Structure 1
């Protein structure tokens, strides 16, 4: 069979793959993209987007319950879980269809099927019509990842759920156990807790949201407990005993094991890279703990083969994958892109309160030998936050004391997933504390707290 020839083949149409394909097409490359299931990948169909749609429903429900605080009346407040899920799926479906339109608009050849890299520059795709052979000098792997399952804690879709089951629940949990307190676990815990589930979160590390600054984690924990969640840190679920309509979880903490009963368990204990059945081992691609090893330009070490996004390792974020996709496409087209710097990629968690960060935590900055200055500003000192009825939160900034370099920024509170980009831009432009101090922030806005946090690091804070 004669292989159809392209300049670049992208395997996987998630936020890394489809963006790489579009950027390649913009630069004049003849591009093919292969997707085995959903245009837009996990993020758009089963991750970032539908979860945010569901969390928005929970947020509105929460505000309706607080109507009296705003001088409003809302009687007989309730929700229709099926309708919440239906809206979430509709949002995902609308955007997934949009990806297909973008492929056509950019004249990208789309092949639906499972791909295997059969040799240098060659991809074989198993479609519903048989095998299709493709060739290109450059192949970009963007196959993403899936939920990690631990022995004995495997999902069954009934009593034990993964994120997919949690996104289209057959019922509303009454007593919920969430295993893992990273972004996925905490977001689902927040959603179901807001809608009334008695929610317990178990985290094996010494604090929830373990990748965040310790002070932010502690603040978030306090808010979750205030909302009625039970948080168990330095704890692990050893086994799950399943019976009709219930699960008994054996949870070890402090050297003791206790048995607690739940009707639903959500497992959110990390991800596994989709590296199987791609033919990578035969090509000599190095794989470390289910992730393809790449250099700063996402090159695998095999000529003409690149890996981007979740398959290429942390941070496992859609925007990191997209930016890597652009970088690789530009590299293939002969341009000179800057490598993606993981430390300049923001992380966002859409729980209530929201959490966002970029750069080094206070502890990490100290570990790296920086003499630091730290600024903080609470939401309670901000007029807009009080007017919104969102006085719980804080913004924290970490600077190098000698140079004024913004080393990191960490936030917890309303809309911080939008605010964080201000500091991301600042780090990209190599902003100093003087630049930020001399910037005029509009009033009344939540963003004023960003200014005050910087001022606080140099003992110049105004409103505290």
Structure 2
């Protein structure tokens, strides 16, 4: 007879869900995970992983086009779009298979289907359209003392700008193009929009980005965003800020966009394809949350620092709990949620210590307060900066355009925020994240020896600059 009772059932197998399942199994909890589409969720299959594979192809293609800058020759540089997409999908499949292996290794039961919560401790799973992995349980009723919702999010759809899978794309279609569009409109300049703009421009498309706010990359420090804009425009990306796309008129082989400039004027422009990247919304529907009284605010589930909702026995983690909607936030939430269930009293999630990364060219990374936010809070701050142009490794790499920026509390020396643009900053940012978690002061960072020659030396130099001690600029 099939065992239908568990200690923990997790709905959704994205980064938050599958990591929570593994941690629960490690802690000796009998665990099941419910999935209706693909193990690994959006991030692994249609989000962060496959986009990075595409961007890696674009990075190499860009480098090959500039081979002569390094004393090298690369004639007739070209790309095979079908092969680029196939590589990206292959990377996703490899990791998808890896999640399946981890479920088996940790003796986690996989239940294949769509789940709804009938009552605290009880769920019903209905059949999914997709083919289940070998050994997965099917539809039926299941019980668990603890139910964790990890259903993630989906692309936001604005009236009149709905993706149709043909001329107007969401990120699903944008990741598997059959042909390269000659012209592309990207609506939205958050991380998703800018990454796609960067990829398609590198591959040769004429790209226009429209952002309703006055700044691209709205969550980033204004100084970093301004530098990014200059770099993007230098690459040939056209950027319109303080503007919105009010209408899309689909024609055979093209889309005519009506763009409101914000000053009462309108313009129209024709594009071969459009990507709608105006954010995401939580997947809270069809879970039975309304009848249970689970608190939802702004389209996402309200949960405390360890994932507890207002209904005992029901928890929520990841994108479905709201911003920042990042895979690493979901993973960490999954771990602390399960540890709280087990009674280990983990530290609650601190959203101010979650780094954000955008894998465009140049890369952008940040953690903590922007300069503007710090000043809005009335803090007395010290700000340090160090340019890539002053770093030997950056110059040797041919990547001398970028900036490291740090913000300290003047009275205590506490690091409040760090913001970067340039080569490999998505790898560098973690140094500052660790420092902030350890409550490191400026004095300790100044006395830390960084290896030479490395890009990381700029992290120390930026700290030194905040206190008037920079050595190489």
TM-score tier by shorter-chain length is over 0.9
Matched-pair contact (CA < 8 Å) for 1:2–1:133: no
Structure 2 distance, partners of 1:352, 1:285, is 41
Structure 2 distance, partners of 1:431, 1:302, is 38
Matched-pair contact (CA < 8 Å) for 2:17–2:150: yes
- Number of residues paired by the alignment? 464
Structure 2 residues without counterparts, runs of 5 or longer: 129-136
Alignment deviations for residues 234-274 of structure 1 (CA, whole Å, 9 cap, x no partner): 00000001010011100001221101111110000000110
1:410-449 → structure 2 map (5 Å cutoff): 410-449=419-458
CA RMSD of aligned residues (A): 1.1
Structure 1 distance, partners of 2:254, 2:104, is 48
**Which residue is 2:212 aligned to?**
204
The normalised TM-score by structure 2 is 0.97
**Which residue is 1:148 aligned to?**
156
**Which residue is 2:131 aligned to?**
none
Q: Secondary structure at the match of 1:133?
A: strand
Alignment deviations for residues 383-434 of structure 1 (CA, whole Å, 9 cap, x no partner): 0000000000000000000000000000000000000000000000000000
Q: Secondary structure at the match of 2:348?
A: coil
Matched-pair contact (CA < 8 Å) for 1:3–1:135: no
Structure 1 distance, partners of 2:33, 2:303, is 21
Alignment deviations for residues 170-191 of structure 1 (CA, whole Å, 9 cap, x no partner): 2111010000000000000000
- Judging changes above 3 Å, is the alpha-carbon distance between structure 1 residues 2 and 75 closer, same or farther for their aligned structure 2 residues? closer
| TM-fit CA distance, 1:50 | 0.1
Q: Secondary structure at the match of 2:6?
A: strand
**Which residue is 2:94 aligned to?**
94
Structure 2 distance, partners of 1:38, 1:298, is 24
Counterpart among 303, 310, 316 of residue 294 in structure 1: 303
- Judging changes above 3 Å, is the alpha-carbon distance between structure 1 residues 319 and 130 closer, same or farther for their aligned structure 2 residues? closer
| TM-fit CA distance, 1:157 | 1.1
Structure 2 distance, partners of 1:21, 1:213, is 35
**Which residue is 2:194 aligned to?**
186
Alignment deviations for residues 6-27 of structure 1 (CA, whole Å, 9 cap, x no partner): 0000000000000000000000
1:255-266 → structure 2 map (5 Å cutoff): 255-266=264-275
1:39-188 → structure 2 map (5 Å cutoff): 39-127=39-127, 131-188=139-196
Matched-pair contact (CA < 8 Å) for 2:112–2:139: no
| TM-fit CA distance, 1:286 | 1.1
| TM-fit CA distance, 1:120 | 1.3
| TM-fit CA distance, 1:159 | 0.6
**Which residue is 1:26 aligned to?**
26
| TM-fit CA distance, 1:82 | 0.6
**Which residue is 1:306 aligned to?**
315
Matched-pair contact (CA < 8 Å) for 1:3–1:133: no
Structure 1 distance, partners of 2:211, 2:383, is 28
Matched-pair contact (CA < 8 Å) for 2:244–2:259: yes
Structure 1 distance, partners of 2:298, 2:154, is 13
Matched-pair contact (CA < 8 Å) for 1:3–1:132: no
Q: Secondary structure at the match of 1:374?
A: strand
**Which residue is 2:377 aligned to?**
368
Matched-pair contact (CA < 8 Å) for 1:346–1:356: yes
| TM-fit CA distance, 1:127 | 2.6
| TM-fit CA distance, 1:340 | 1.0
Q: Secondary structure at the match of 2:154?
A: strand
Q: Secondary structure at the match of 2:180?
A: coil
Q: Secondary structure at the match of 1:16?
A: helix
Matched-pair contact (CA < 8 Å) for 1:236–1:251: yes
Q: Secondary structure at the match of 1:184?
A: helix
| TM-fit CA distance, 1:130 | 6.3
**Which residue is 1:280 aligned to?**
289
| TM-fit CA distance, 1:3 | 7.4
Structure 1 distance, partners of 2:117, 2:25, is 21
The normalised TM-score by structure 1 is 0.99
Structure 2 distance, partners of 1:306, 1:217, is 36
Structure 2 distance, partners of 1:154, 1:438, is 54
| 1:394 and 2:413 are equivalent in the alignment | no
Alignment deviations for residues 136-174 of structure 1 (CA, whole Å, 9 cap, x no partner): 110000000000011110011111000000000121110
Structure 1 distance, partners of 2:73, 2:179, is 29
Structure 2 distance, partners of 1:2, 1:12, is 21
Moved over 4 A (4+): none
